[in-house]
Chains A and B, each alone.
Chain A
Amino acid sequence: MTKQIPEGVSQVKLWDVGTRLFHWSLVICVCSAWFLGKFGPNIMTLHFYFGYAVIALLVFRIVWGLFGPAPARFSHFLFGPAATLRYAKTLKNPTPSYWPGHNPIGALSVFAMLAALIVQVSTGLFADPDDYINVGPLADMVSSEANRSATKLHHQMALLIAVFVVLHVAAIAFYKRYKGENLVTPMLTGWKLVRKDKG
């Protein structure tokens, strides 16, 4: 670390290896499943496999959110409206947040993304697009009406997930360019500059 560390800020190991591996595996699996779904071959076997991988990752993240290291726990980034508003007001400051974890706005994005992906993998399991080659593994367990609703929702959620991803990447770019805070490297190395007074 050659850069001067400001007063009241220290370099800490924030993101454990599990959270980091989870994050980048999710990037790979969600992007692969998404593009295979939209542009992949007619037989969507690979799309299915990436979907199953996303299920496994979501299960891991939920377990990690309950029993994992402090910064990864849901309770660590569950904020009330007041705290969220207070943080939102600081967004316009062109200075790093030095937030020790998921900040209140980022936390919203985490919960929204996890919820959207849970809906997405669930509807995928029950979807049946009537082409006889791509049938969700649990599609037979429900009515064809339900198959149809699941398929429709699966397609709509794909759009929403794309919007979430774009917003997420835009936020990371905003922090880097406007606030001068690099959030990518901490997710790679685990080390982040954070405020000493909190977390």
Chain B
Amino acid sequence: MRYALIAALIAAPALSLAGPAEKTVEARQGYFKLLGANMGVLAGMAQGKVDYDADAAQTAADNMVVLSTYKLAPLFAPGTSSDDVKDTRALPAIWKDLPGVTAKASDFGAAARAMQDVAGKGKGEMAGALGALGGSCKGCHTAYRAE
């Protein structure tokens, strides 16, 4: 009885934590799916897979800027790294280097605003801004995402 109680006391927080951490990971992946959906629109046009459409490009760029202002702290709650939760590639390095992550996030914000300025002005202008924007994706993946 006493052991059962101790076991329950140990297990209870673990069980109650498992749910929210996984939900946080799902929400976080949703955030990156949104980024990917809008990046996909811009990259598709830049690579000529779809015809350039100024309005669609501007919408995607506007959305990227909105997403870049999203407050990310809750999505990166402690205890949601690849060490804690299955099916996430978010490395513990993120939580060990929050200033580095913040700097990369602000690089992304700047690249998104630069894209917003030119996305509707023509395919060449849009494609020119895509390098820095994609580079800001790459910068984070290299440092903070499991391969």
Tell me the A residues contacting B by CB distance below 8 Å. Answer: 41-43, 129-134, 148, 151-152, 155
Contact = CB atoms under 8 A, between A and B. Distances in A.
Contacts of B130: 132-133
A43 B134 contact: yes
Interface in B78-108: none
Contact of B134 (A133, A148, A151, A152): A133
Contact of B39 (A42, A132, A151): A132
A155 B131 CA distance: 21
Given A42-B138, A132-B137, 16 more contacts: A42-B131, A42-B132, A43-B131, A129-B138, A129-B141, A130-B36, A130-B137, A131-B137, A131-B141, A132-B39, A132-B130, A133-B43, A133-B130, A133-B131, A133-B135, A134-B138
Interface string B124-147: 000000111011011101000001
A186 to B, nearest CB: 40
| Residue among A43, A131, A152, A155 having the largest count of chain B Cβ atoms under 10 Å | A131
Contacts of A148: 147
For the complex of A and B, the 4 pairs showing the least CB-CB separation, nearest first, are: A42-B135, A133-B134, A132-B43, A131-B138
Contacts of A41: 131
A154 to B, nearest CB: 9
B44 to A, nearest CB: 9
A133 B126 CA distance: 13
Given A42-B131, A42-B132, A43-B134, A132 B147 contact: no
B134 A42 contact: yes
A148 B135 CA distance: 18
Contact of B147 (A42, A43, A134, A155): A155
17 contacts: A42-B131, A42-B138, A42-B139, A43-B134, A43-B135, A129-B138, A130-B137, A132-B36, A132-B39, A132-B40, A132-B43, A133-B131, A133-B134, A133-B135, A133-B138, A134-B134, A152-B147
B21 interface: no
B28 to A, nearest CB: 14
Nearest to B142: A129
Contacts of B43: 132-133
A131 B130 CA distance: 10
A133 B137 CA distance: 9
B49 to A, nearest CB: 9
Contacts of A133: 43, 130-131, 134-135, 137-138
Contact of A151 (B131, B139, B147): B147
